[in-house]
Amino acid sequence: MEIPELIAFDVETTGLKPLEGDRIIELALIRIRDGSVVEKIVTAVNPGINIPPEVCSIHGITDDMVKDAPPFRDIAGKIADFIRGKTLLIHNADFDISFLKKEFELCGMSCPEVKVIDTLAIAKNSFRFPGNSLSRIAVHYKIDTEGLHRAEADAMTTYMIYRRFCEELSRKERN
């Protein structure tokens, strides 16, 4: 079911484990109302730690690219206001939300209450793709994958996939 307003969300990080010190280095929050982007926050984030070379090779974000970016604590209030009470659309929500919660915790704040739609869960529960990664599903739907593994591109790709899911599930319901 399509939601009239939601926020497509994605993060890029220094690694896979927020509980072991990995941090957000880029995030995208894209507010979409009735199919149109109406507002967004897309920013690099200074993690205060080095980005491992093996991680740089995945998303292409280097220490140099984040050295002058704001630390999360400087944008936490703005992010909290942007998402509070909203519906976040995320591919692999457990990953992104775990990082978001950890960053708020490090600032002495609670992560605002949000609703979450996880396109990974929809893919696993309602479809049979050869793989459920964002890029594999995008390729299946012939959605441009240029720029993937960067927060803004991943967030927008998640939204495009969600729209396709809604169309297909609606069609299945009618038949």
In terms of C-beta distances under 8 Å and separation of at least 24 residues, what long-range contacts does 1-6 make, across chains too?
A: 1/166, 2/163, 2/166, 3/87, 3/117, 4/33, 4/34, 5/31, 5/32, 5/33, 5/34, 5/86, 5/87, 6/31, 6/32, 6/86, 6/87, 6/88, 6/89, 6/117, 6/159
* Res. 3 pLDDT band, cuts 50 70 90: confident
Is 5-174 CATH 3.30.420.10? yes
72-125 residue pLDDT tens: 999 999 999 999 999 999 999 999 999 999 999 999 999 999 999 999 999 999
Instruction: Check residue 173 and give its pLDDT.
Output: 83
- Does residue 2 have a pLDDT over 70? no
59 assigned to active site: no
Whole-structure pTM value:
0.95
The per-residue pLDDT for range 129-154, each reduced to its tens digit, is: 999 999 999 999 999 998 889 999 99
pLDDT at 174: 82
Q: Which of 59, 91, 140, 149 is catalytic?
A: 149
Q: What are the boundaries of each domain within the chain?
A: 5-174
> What is the distance between the alpha carbons of residues 80 and 52, in angstroms, rounded to a whole number?
28
Average pLDDT of the residues in 31-58: 97
